[in-house]
Structure 1
Amino acid sequence: MKRAALVTLLTAALLGGGLATAAPQASAAARPAAACTAADADVYTPPATVPATPGTVLACRSVTLSQVPGGIPMAAWKVLYSSTDNQGRPVAVSGTLAVPTAPWTGTGTRPVVAFHPGTLGLGPQCAFSKQLAGAFQDEYEGDNIAALLKAGYAVAATDGPGYLDGQTHRYVAGTDSGHALLDIARAAPAVPGSGLSRQARVGLWGYSEGGAASLWAAQLAAGYAPELNVVGDASGGVPGDLKQVATALDGGAFSGFLADAALGIQAAYPTLPFDSLLNDQGKEAVKTAKSVCLVGTVTALAGKSIKDFTTAGLTLDQLYQQRGSDGRTWGQVLDAQKLGVNLGTYRIGFPVLQYRGALDEVIPTATEDAVRTAYCAAGVRTGWKIYPGDHLLTDNQAVGDVVSWLGDRFAGRAAQNDC
C-alpha cells in the first residue's frame, strides 16, 4: 500500500472510520524443509518441537509478493525458521525471503538485508509475510523492499516473533525481536534455491517497531550470531525508552500502540500480571487489539488510557509497580527493553545509521535523540539524519538514503560519523 493511501486511512480512522479484517487461516502441521513446497498453513503453525540451532529452516513456500511494487523479477518464499526467546528457549518465527533473479554484479557474493517491519498490528492476518503476498492490504513498507531488490540485494524480512497460529506477537520485546531478525539472516542461505552464501555481507534495517528491533539485533549480533558478517545497521523512528513512549501515547490519538505494547511485552514475559488487572472494558480492548491491524488498532483504541482498562484504575506509574510471579515488576521489564544501555557489553563493531522525522507525533523525539547520544557516548560510529516528515512519512522519505548507505557498507566504504 502506498504511503499516501495509508495516511488517508489513518486519518479516516481517527475521524471514526472502520476497517474490516480477514480471518486467520486453518493450520496444518509444520515439517522440516527439504524443498519449498509447504502448504501456506505450514508456515504459520507452531511445530511440536523447535530445533535448538537458530536459523534452521522448518518450512518454506514459494510465493509471489504482490504488494512489492515495480514488477521486479525475483524469487520469493515464505519461511518458518527457528529462533530463540529472551529466556534462551527455541521458538519458531515466520518471515519472507526475496532474491532478485538478475545476477549479482557487485563484489563478492550477493548481500542480504535483514529487515524488520514497523508496527502492523497484532491480528494474525497482519503478519508482514501475509501482507507482502497480498492476503491483507494494510502494509506500508513494500516500497522499502522494492528499493532493496532493485539495488540487487536479497531481503530477509522477519514477521517478528509471535505471528504463528494461537500466539501473540511479542511487540517491542527487544531480545526476542533482535534474535528473530538475526536468525532470518542465518536462515536465508538454507532456503532451497536461494543461491545465497553463508559468508554474505549482512545489513540490518528497520523503522519504528522495526527500528528498535534492528538496533537490538545490532547490540546482540556479536554475542548471539558471531558468524554473521554484519556490516551495518540502519534504524529509524526508534522507541528507545518504552516508558517515555508510553507517557506520550497514553490517552492520545495513537494509544492503541500502547495497548499493543502491553500485550506484546506480557506475551514475551508471561510471569507479569495482566489478566487479573483488567476490567470488562480492558478485556474487550484485548480482544480488539489481538484481532485487528494497524488502522483498526488506531481506530478502536484512540483516546483510551491504561487506567480505563484496569479494575483499580491504575496509572502508568502504578502499573510499573505491579510485580510478577518471578519477582520482576512491569517497570523493571520495560527498563530492560531500553536501548543504548550496556553498550560496552554489547560491542557493536560496525557502523549504525539512525534517523527520525522532525514532526514525529508518535515517538517522542527526546527518546530518539537519547538513543543516538548513548551510541555516540559508547564510541559507536553513528550516522544521523532528521527528515521533514511526521512518523509515517519519514519512513518513506529515508528509503533512498538508507539503501545508498547500506550499499556503501556492502562496498566496504568508510561510514560518516555524525557524533
Structure 2
Amino acid sequence: MPENESARTGQRSRRASRPGIRRLFPLLAATVTGSILATPATSTPVRPEETTLASFYEPAADRIPGTHGSVIQIRPLTGDPALAGARNYLLMYRSIDMRGNPVAVTGTLAVPDSTPPPGGWPLISWAHGTTGVADACAPSQDTSPDFPAHDYTSMVRRVQERWVAAGYAVAQTDYQGLGTPGPHGYLIGTAEQRAVTDMARAARQIDPDIGTRWVAVGHSQGGQAAVFTDAEAQQWAPDLQLLGAVALAPASHQGIGLQASQLASTAGVAGPLAPLTGGAVSFLPLIIRGAQTVAEVDPVRFLTPRAQSMLDEADDRCIGQLRQPDSWGGLNADDVFRRDGDAAALIRVLNENDPTALSFTQPLLVLQGRADTTVPAPGTEAMVVRQRASGQPVQYHAYAGVDHRGVLDASFDDALDWVNRRFGR
C-alpha cells in the first residue's frame, strides 16, 4: 500500500531530517529488482567491523541495497543486551519495507557458547513486544537500566537466556525503523514478518553453525508478528525451514478495540468499558504512527485537539513514558476521540493486519494469561476459535492469574516442550 507523505507532514521531522534519507528511498527503489526477493543469503561468516555504537545505526546509503536477509555489518556484544552463556552480536541486515524499498534493520544474535549439535543450532527468531516507535526504543540499544523500556527488555532477556541454556540460538530483530532510518510499521504484520524472517537468514550468515530449521516466537506486538510469520515466512525465505510459531499474548482485534473505545466515548461509558479495550489509549499514538506507514490516516478526523497536540510524543517517547500520567496515560477515551470523529481509515488498516483470518500450514502455539488487561484473553480466545474453525493447526494454553508480562515466565516450560517437539528433540 502506498504511503501518503502529506498525512505525515511534521510527524516524523526528527527522522526525516537525517541527511539524505528523503532522497534515499526513491533511489533505492529504482535499484531493487525482483532477484533480490529470490536470492538466498550466503552462509559465509561475516567478520565484525570496527564502528562506534552511535554510528552503527546510521548505515551509508550505498550499503543498504542487496539481498534481503543478508548482513550489512556486525559487532560483538558484551554486557547488556547480550545473553549469558552465548557468543553475542549486534547486527545490521537488509529487509524490504512495505513500499518495496530495501531497508537496514538492526537486532541481536546469541549463539550458545558450546559445540553445536548435528544439523546445527536450532534457531529461535524472537519478535519483541511493544517498546515504542521512536528510534531510542530499539531493544538492541538497551545497554543500561537507563534505557526507557529496560523493565520489559531485561525481563525478555532472562527468558531468552533460558532458551540459550536449552540449546537454542536466539536472534531478536528490532523491526524495521526502530533504531534505523525510516518509520516503524507498528502492528503492520507483513513488515514485522519480514524483519523476523530476514533476521533468521542473517543469523545463518553470521554463524554457519546455525541450522536451516527455525521457529518464530513473539510476545504481544511480537505475538501478532509470530502469527504473520507462520503464515508468510516460508514463501519469503524458502531456503529456510520454518517449523512453526509461538505467539504469547498476541495482539488481535485491534480494529474492534478501537471502535469500542470510540463508541464508548460517544455513549459516555468509556470508564466502565476500559477493561474490554485492552488499555488502547496509551498505545493509540503508536497505532496511528504504524498505520501511517501504509495508508493515509489523518488524526485530525478523529482525535480531539488535546490528543492531536500530544501525538508527536510517540516520536521520542517509549511505551513506558507514554503510559505516564503526564502523557497518554493521563487520558481516557473521552479525552482522545471526537464524538463526531471518523476513524474508518485507521480501523481499516488495523483490520487488514489482524492475525485472526490468516491461513497457515505450520503449527501455531498460542499462550495467554487470563489476567492480562493489555491483550485481554477473550480477544485471543476469539482469534483461536476462528482459526480452529477454519482448519488452522492451532494449540492454545491459558494461565489463570497471569498478566501480560507474566505469561513470559509462566508459559516457558510449555513453549519449550512444544518447540523441542518441533525439532524432534
Residues 366-410 of structure 1: per-residue CA shift (max 9 Å, x gap): 321122123323333222100120112122211232123212211
Q: TM-score, normalised by structure 2?
A: 0.77
- Indicate if the aligned counterparts of 1:54 and 1:84 stay in contact, CA closer than 8 A: yes
CA distance in 2: counterparts of 1:134 and 1:68, whole angstroms: 14
Is 1:171 the counterpart of 2:183? The answer is: no
Q: Secondary structure at the match of 1:392?
A: coil
Is 1:379 the counterpart of 2:391? The answer is: yes
Partner of 2:75: 61
- Indicate if the aligned counterparts of 1:356 and 1:385 stay in contact, CA closer than 8 A: yes
Residues 81-120 of structure 1: per-residue CA shift (max 9 Å, x gap): 1112223332221111111111124x42111110011111
Residues 159-183 of structure 1: per-residue CA shift (max 9 Å, x gap): 1111135544321111111111011
Q: Secondary structure at the match of 1:340?
A: helix
Residues 219-276 of structure 1: per-residue CA shift (max 9 Å, x gap): 111322222111121001111221123356676555211221112221x225332468
- Determine what percentage of the aligned residue pairs are the same residue: 25
CA distance in 2: counterparts of 1:401 and 1:378, whole angstroms: 25
Partner of 1:48: 61
Partner of 2:245: 233
How many pairs are equivalent?
A: 365
Partner of 2:346: 330
How far the C-alpha of 1:283 sits from its partner, in A, is 4.3
Q: Compared with structure 1, are the counterparts of its residues 202 and 28 closer, same or farther at alpha carbon in structure 2 (3 Å cutoff)?
A: farther
Partner of 2:226: 214
- Indicate if the aligned counterparts of 1:160 and 1:177 stay in contact, CA closer than 8 A: yes
Partner of 1:271: 296
Is 1:130 the counterpart of 2:144? The answer is: no
Give runs of aligned pairs for residues 304-315 of structure 1, distance below 5 A: 304-305=331-332, 308-309=335-336, 315=341
CA distance in 1: counterparts of 2:251 and 2:387, whole angstroms: 14
Is 1:410 the counterpart of 2:423? The answer is: yes
CA distance in 2: counterparts of 1:101 and 1:39, whole angstroms: 25
How far the C-alpha of 1:208 sits from its partner, in A, is 0.6
- Indicate if the aligned counterparts of 2:85 and 2:161 stay in contact, CA closer than 8 A: no
CA distance in 1: counterparts of 2:66 and 2:257, whole angstroms: 34
Give runs of aligned pairs for residues 176-195 of structure 1, distance below 5 A: 176-191=191-206, 194-195=207-208
Where do 5+ consecutive residues of structure 2 fail to align? 1-13, 22-45, 263-269
Partner of 1:324: none
Partner of 1:113: 124
How far the C-alpha of 1:336 sits from its partner, in A, is 0.9
Q: Secondary structure at the match of 1:354?
A: strand
Is 1:301 the counterpart of 2:328? The answer is: yes
CA distance in 2: counterparts of 1:260 and 1:368, whole angstroms: 21
How far the C-alpha of 1:47 sits from its partner, in A, is 4.4
CA distance in 1: counterparts of 2:300 and 2:93, whole angstroms: 30
Partner of 1:292: 317
- Indicate if the aligned counterparts of 1:255 and 1:303 stay in contact, CA closer than 8 A: no
Residues 283-305 of structure 1: per-residue CA shift (max 9 Å, x gap): 44223222222321211212525
Give runs of aligned pairs for residues 35-114 of structure 1, distance below 5 A: 35-45=48-58, 47-49=60-62, 50-67=64-81, 72-105=84-117, 107-114=118-125
Q: Secondary structure at the match of 2:121?
A: coil
Give the counterpart letter for 2:123 in structure 1: V
Partner of 2:284: 258
Where do 5+ consecutive residues of structure 1 fail to align? 1-22, 321-328, 413-419
Is 1:399 the counterpart of 2:407? The answer is: no
CA distance in 2: counterparts of 1:401 and 1:51, whole angstroms: 40
Larger CA deviation: 295-304 vs 181-190: 295-304
Give the counterpart letter for 2:346 in structure 1: W
Is 1:319 the counterpart of 2:343? The answer is: yes
- Indicate if the aligned counterparts of 1:168 and 1:290 stay in contact, CA closer than 8 A: no
Q: Compared with structure 1, are the counterparts of its residues 239 and 98 closer, same or farther at alpha carbon in structure 2 (3 Å cutoff)?
A: same
- Indicate if the aligned counterparts of 2:224 and 2:247 stay in contact, CA closer than 8 A: yes
- Indicate if the aligned counterparts of 1:249 and 1:258 stay in contact, CA closer than 8 A: no
Give the counterpart letter for 1:209 in structure 2: Q
CA distance in 2: counterparts of 1:319 and 1:190, whole angstroms: 43
Is 1:341 the counterpart of 2:357? The answer is: yes
How far the C-alpha of 1:278 sits from its partner, in A, is 5.9
Give the counterpart letter for 1:256 in structure 2: S
- Indicate if the aligned counterparts of 1:82 and 1:183 stay in contact, CA closer than 8 A: yes
Is 1:145 the counterpart of 2:160? The answer is: yes
Partner of 1:9: none
- Over the aligned positions, Cα root-mean-square deviation in angstroms equals 3.0
Residues 343-386 of structure 1: per-residue CA shift (max 9 Å, x gap): 1xxxx332211111111211232321122123323333222100
